[in-house]
Structure 1
């Protein structure tokens, strides 16, 4: 039986009491598995993520992190950082929040800097970074804390091919460790290759959830790609 880390049952949620932005969205995230959250712009993906993280108080339903003390890492599409802190100070701050030993920070932090080829800017401020470098910083912070669940919003935006490969390799290592992943992405060819199952949203509602064959069945495209099915269903 699959080890469920997160269950989501959103009856409705929104930004005020007068209008529900999303309705009837139900899925789970399993240990060692990657669930792709996909849909066109305005489908409700970001609102779903905000609801999962408890940022919307106007919500009917349940979001349950099944294991007591579950930690999750949120990696946003738009990098969020402190202008006065260097890259290394951002990693140090994250390690302090999670009670990480200094020796672990040194080992894991420097390994991530090498992996993403950011060692030379270790003590630089992110204001001078490119969009891709800032995104790498967000990824490093997420991987540093080794959470139970990764919630990743459009991770490929701004990443060059090598950084994308580094990210996917690390994500696969984390899945092997038992972490679950909820990934929101528009890069459907990559999602088709790496995700175990999918949640397709349109107009604030869940259109289909399940493996690729389930999506193909609803789209009546038995040999269709995820991209083909996406277009047919939305």
Structure 2
């Protein structure tokens, strides 16, 4: 069975003629959460920009559900939902209007929109904010808006970039519960994060990125075998791999 997301031999993101990422290959299947882990500047954001179609690989190819961005941009965009690290919003639109815009962008009819949006507003505790403007929100509330927009469209793939930054503990728990629910319903999730304890608890596999290359990838048990650290945590393994250089 073909993977939901396939990243094969991708090199790109050039800075001063030097590639930011080199020969990156990994995949994500349905019903799994995969953590993308690395130091600041390791290339995580560059990989995500390539997957989103914001950067074109110099070498290699990226496919989502068998489609490439260059081959079918509109279809490609509709296969994933994106939760950015920094909220992106329109000053002149209310929270509710942002959700309506996302629904229209993905072709959701009004009945489906109504069925999906109310549980999100309730569980993320944003019901009273539905007619307010994001400029009046805290950073955590703006982040919840981005999360709700992505979850509402129920894509087959989620690209999640540092999702819990700025969220309060209840917001973090709600997000992780929803991501687990999406996984159970068949979605694949790529989650970039620095919070290794959370990654270890919720993610099925891990991609450890260092200096633009994949240092190691696999399940926790596989990483323990690779490193010869059979009883260690993900945090211990990660530090061992990146501090070795």
Report the TM-score, using the length of structure 1 for normalisation.
0.95
For residues 24-63 of structure 1, the aligned pairs below 5 Å read: 24-63=23-62
**CA RMSD between the two structures:** 1.4
**Paired position in structure 1 for 2:156:** 148
DSSP 3-state at the match of 2:4: strand
Question: 1:140 is paired with a residue of what secondary structure?
Answer: helix
1:18 to 2:17 alignment: yes
Q: Give the CA deviation at 1:53.
A: 1.4
CA separation in 1, counterparts of 2:2 and 2:33? 13
1-side partners of 2:240 and 2:154: how far apart? Answer: 37
Maintained 8 Å contact 1:189/1:226? yes
Give the aligned length: 233
Is the contact between residue 10 and residue 57 of structure 2 (CA under 8 Å) also seen in structure 1?
no
Gaps of 5+ in 1: none
SS at match of 1:217: helix
Describe the superposition over 1:165-199 as per-residue Cα deviations: whole angstroms up to 9, x where unpaired.
11111111111110000000001001001111011
2:205 equivalent among 194, 197, 211 = 197
Q: Which runs of 4+ in 1 moved over 6 A?
A: none
TM-score, L = length of structure 2: 0.91
Partner of 2:71: none
Task: Return 5+ residue gaps in structure 2 as ranges.
Answer: 68-74
2:173 maps to which of 165, 169, 172: 165
Equivalent of 2:195 in 187, 191, 204: 187
Q: Is the 8 A contact 1:3 1:31 kept in 2?
A: no
1:213 to 221, 225, 229: 221
Q: Is the 8 A contact 2:7 2:63 kept in 1?
A: yes
